[in-house]
Amino acid sequence: CQLFGYVGIEAVLDQMKIKTMKMGFEFNIMVVGQSGLGKSTMVNTLFKSKVSRKASQPGQEERIPKTVQLQSVTHVIEEKGVKMKLTVTDTPGFGDQINNNNCWDPIIKYINEQYERYLREEILITRKRKIPDTRVHGCVYFVPPTGHWLRPLDLEFMRRLSKIVNVVPVIAKADTLTLEERAEFKQRIQQDLKTHAISVYPQEDFDQDPDDRALNDRIR
Amino acid sequence: SPYQNEEKRNLSLGGHVGFDSLPDQLVSKSVTQGFSFNILCVGETGIGKSTLMNTLFNTTFETEEASHYESAVRLRPRTYDLQESNVHLKLTIVDAVGFGDQINKDERQVSPIVEYIDTQFENYLQEELKIRRSLFNYHDTRIHVCLYFITPTGHSLKSLDLVTMKKLDSKVNIIPIIAKADTISKSELHKFKIKIMSELVSNGVQIYQFPTDDEAVAEINSVMNAHLPFAVVGSTEEVKVGNKLVRARQYPWGVVQVENESHCDFVKLREMLIRVNMEDLREQTHTRHYELYRRCKLEEMGFKDTDPDSQPFSLQETYETKRKEFLGELQKKEEEMRQMFVNKVKETEAELKEKERELHEKFEHLKRIHQEEKRKVEEKRRELEEEMNAFNRRKVAVETLQSQSLQATSQQPLKKDKDKKNRSVITGNQSGVSLSSSKVMITKTTVEPLNCSSWWHAIQCCSCLVKNATWREGFL
């Protein structure tokens, strides 16, 4: 139908914006990688604040835990009127043992637990107006800067987790690689992922239209 | 939870991070997805519903004039795709055709409307309850607002109005409007509005209140709330006023301008409905009316949130209980099948035993018969042997007698006779089982001669046996 004059439908966008700003946002990310790869530093840099406690602070007796443990820290941050409840889940102990079989199991369990918690709230008869969302929205996976290939541990982990959560692989401490090495490494990693059919974020099958795909292809 | 280490504290940012674009991200996502808005128009035929829709959205929704002779109230939804700048709106206008036209304005006026609203809720609920669902793709048909057109009598609400609105207020956001407001004078209108609002309050009808909790819109909304119900005029015709073309209605005595706030409340309605509160209407529908419907429906179906001990149902527990039930069922079935199998085996075993017994009996029976027969045969053999001995003795006796008699007479002719006699003796004796020898000799000469030379062969030779009746009888 053709509109003959201005109606004002687009005002609804502002209405929505106001509503979302009032509601606030919840964002939960998980950082996974061996100790010493700079996970906490990166998170702090990302959010320009002391979000995570660094593991290697003087005077702190922190030993590598025997099994993978998950620690969550929640902060409320605000920027230009937008409130965000940020939760960062750390996974000390991942990949640090001699035998790392199934070290991803506690992580998968945690992620599924959050999903179940949400589902339980959702299927209640009298449910809350706003269900608290603790589901992991993104998982940042730190790949050590070997410059060669993805290790079997990396592949296994990403393969399993990309099925249940958005995985964003990053090359940690990239300043230890020259630019050419870095480009090569990146390419090899992309190849590896494709060969093993691991779909990391942004996933191809979630592209909603050509614009999305163009944007995401560049990221990929 | 063992994992959480919640130190929820406010953090100050050292610089610009950039997540303030989150609302914009969300908004742009909605823009690409498009969204729907559904209006239900309830009012008598001819009261100006279609014209108002055309005026509101500044377009012409194709429609013919509705007839006054509908046999029942029916709802007619029509969906249109509207686009303004980059916003896609899927607008559905639902008309309650035939409302207020029937002679008998009873329950049947309202129930089709209620049914329609409930059906939309039901469809959404079904989609939400699906295991494989796609809610973000789902075309939301739930009614977001109901515009109730009040006839401009200038007096008060009709009873049909009250009944209808009372039935609908818990299911949908109701905005009452006074239609064809250009037929009421200013003072009448003022009194009319007050009367309507007080009647609504006294009857406990809950109409939609424009939200006043957000500072951005609180003021304008509360002002608008005081102007309810809006007195509107709709028109798609344009009239030249001054040097502008405006939408208006031209009467012989003057012009009623639609967008002139001193003439009618059209602008207010447009502001409230579209430009300020569209999103809130959608939200209220989802979080209040839909949730209520969902809760009632699920409770109706027998679901509960807490078990008999008032402990909240854990998904895990429900799963465990169901699993136990299922396993129990499985076990029971297994047992039954095993029992059946065992019974079957027993039956077959019994049958087989029976058959075995029967066979055994038969065998014994036959054995006995056989023994019996054997015994009989033995007996006969013995008899035969005795007779043979007797015969031999007689034979010897006769031969000695014959040789004695032959010596007395000539030898040659007697030889023949002897041969003859021998032969006949032989035959006679062979055939004769009878006791008296001479009688036997004489009588048996009439009998056919046997082919076999000796008696033992004769017994064994079936043809010989057949030829002699006496042997045969005796043997049998």
Same domain, yes or no: B271 and B357: no
In a domain? residue B244: yes
Residue B335 confidence (pLDDT): 92
Same domain, yes or no: B252 and B380: no
The closest alpha carbon to B297, from B119, B112, B117, B122, belongs to: B122
Where does residue B106 rank: exposed (0-12), middle (13-18), buried (19+ CB within 10 A)?
exposed
Binary contact (B30, A72; C-beta < 8 A):
no
Q: Which residues of B touch A73 (CB under 8 A)?
A: 5-7
User: Which residues of A, range 145-184, sit inside 8 Å of B by Cβ?
Assistant: none
In a domain? residue B327: yes
Q: Choose the most confident range, by mean pLDDT, from A41-55, A75-89, B299-313, B433-447.
A: A75-89
**Do residues B101 and B44 make contact, with C-beta atoms less than 8 angstroms apart?**
yes
Report how far residue B284's alpha carbon sits from residue B292's, in angstroms, rounded to the nearest whole number: 11
Which residue from A9, A119, A208 is facing B84, i.e. has the nearest CB?
A9
Which residue from A3, A71, A127 is facing B84, i.e. has the nearest CB?
A3
In a domain? residue B413: no
- Name the pLDDT band for A57 (thresholds 50, 70, 90): very low
Instruction: State ipTM.
Output: 0.74
Residue A109 confidence (pLDDT): 87
Which residue of chain B has the CA closest to A8?
A: B275
Q: Sign of dihedral through CA atoms B443, B447, B450, B456?
A: negative
User: Which residues of B, range 252-271, sit inside 8 Å of A by Cβ?
Assistant: 270-271
Write out the residue range of the structural domain in which residue B211 sits.
Answer: 20-301
Which residue from B8, B20, B82 is facing A80, i.e. has the nearest CB?
B20
Same domain, yes or no: B39 and B175: yes
Collect the ranges in chain B with pLDDT lower than 70.
1-15, 62-70, 103, 105-107, 302-319, 409-476
To which residue do tokens 């942004």 refer?
Answer: A202
User: Which residues of B, range 197-226, sit inside 8 Å of A by Cβ?
Assistant: 214, 216-217
Number of domains in chain B: 2
Spell B346-379 as b/e; 16+ CB within 10 A means b.
eeeeeeeeeeeeeeeeeeeeeeeeeeeeeeeeee
Q: Which residues of B touch A25 (CB under 8 A)?
A: 19, 22
Which residue from B8, B17, B276 is facing A76, i.e. has the nearest CB?
B8
Q: Which residues of B touch A118 (CB under 8 A)?
A: none
Cis upstream peptide for B211 (omega within 30°): no
- Name the pLDDT band for A212 (thresholds 50, 70, 90): low
User: Where a domain ends, among B335, B366, B391?
Assistant: B391
Q: Which residues of A touch B61 (CB under 8 A)?
A: 1
Q: Is A198 left (phi over 0), alpha (psi -120 to 50) or beta?
A: beta
Nearest chain A Cα distance for residue B192, angstroms: 29
Same domain, yes or no: B139 and B75: yes
Report how far residue B144's alpha carbon sits from residue B213's, in angstroms, rounded to the nearest whole number: 20
Which ranges of B409-436 does DSSP label H, i.e. alpha helix? Answer: 412-431
Nearest chain A Cα distance for residue B138, angstroms: 15
Which ranges of B34-75 does DSSP label H, i.e. alpha helix? Answer: 49-56
Residue B253 confidence (pLDDT): 85
Cβ neighbours around A161 below 10 Å, total: 22
- What is the token pair recorded at B341? 């199998």
To which residue do tokens 């065998």 refer?
Answer: B363
CA A121 vs CA A125, B60, B282: distances in Å: 9, 45, 22
Binary contact (B22, A82; C-beta < 8 A):
yes
Report how far residue B159's alpha carbon sits from residue B151's, in angstroms, rounded to the nearest whole number: 12
Report how far residue B223's alpha carbon sits from residue B209's, in angstroms, rounded to the nearest whole number: 11
Binary contact (A209, B216; C-beta < 8 A):
no
Which ranges of B136-185 does DSSP label H, i.e. alpha helix? Answer: 159-168
**Cα B303 from chain centre:** 20
User: Where a domain ends, among B341, B363, B391?
Assistant: B391
The closest alpha carbon to A172, from A36, A51, A46, belongs to: A36
Same domain, yes or no: B334 and B291: no
Binary contact (A48, B275; C-beta < 8 A):
no
Same domain, yes or no: B220 and B329: no
Percent of chain A with pLDDT over 70: 82
A180-194: pLDDT as tens digits: 888 888 888 888 888
**A115/B contact by beta carbon, under 8 A:** no
Residue A60 confidence (pLDDT): 42
B12-52: pLDDT as tens digits: 666 677 777 777 877 777 777 777 889 999 888 888 888 88
**A205/B contact by beta carbon, under 8 A:** no
How many interface pairs between A and B have CB atoms less than 8 angstroms apart?
Answer: 167
Q: Which residues of A touch B288 (CB under 8 A)?
A: none
Residue B305 confidence (pLDDT): 63
Same domain, yes or no: B159 and B226: yes
DSSP 3-state assignment of A67? Answer: coil
- What is the token pair recorded at A70? 């998950």
Q: Sign of dihedral through CA atoms B365, B366, B369, B374?
A: negative
**B16/A contact by beta carbon, under 8 A:** yes
Residue A82: its H or E element: strand A82-90
Residue B132: its H or E element: none
Same domain, yes or no: B337 and B295: no
Calculate mean pLDDT across residues A155-181: 85
Same domain, yes or no: B219 and B76: yes
CATH of domain A18-38+66-219: 3.40.50.300
**Do residues A70 and A107 make contact, with C-beta atoms less than 8 angstroms apart?**
yes
Same domain, yes or no: B270 and B351: no
Same domain, yes or no: B227 and B367: no
Same domain, yes or no: B168 and B78: yes
Residue B374 confidence (pLDDT): 92
Domain ranges in chain A are 18-38+66-219
The closest alpha carbon to B36, from B112, B190, B193, B142, belongs to: B142
Confidence check: pLDDT of A2 > 70: no
Report how far residue B442's alpha carbon sits from residue B419's, in angstroms, rounded to the nearest whole number: 15
The closest alpha carbon to A20, from B168, B39, B28, belongs to: B28
Report how far residue B326's alpha carbon sits from residue B320's, in angstroms, rounded to the nearest whole number: 10
User: Where a domain ends, among B247, B273, B301?
Assistant: B301
Report how far residue B473's alpha carbon sits from residue B429's, in angstroms, rounded to the nearest whole number: 16
**Cα A11 from chain centre:** 33
**Cα B465 from chain centre:** 85
Calculate mean pLDDT across residues A130-155: 84
In a domain? residue B455: no
**Do residues A9 and B279 make contact, with C-beta atoms less than 8 angstroms apart?**
no
Here the CATH number for the domain that contains residue B162 is: 3.40.50.300
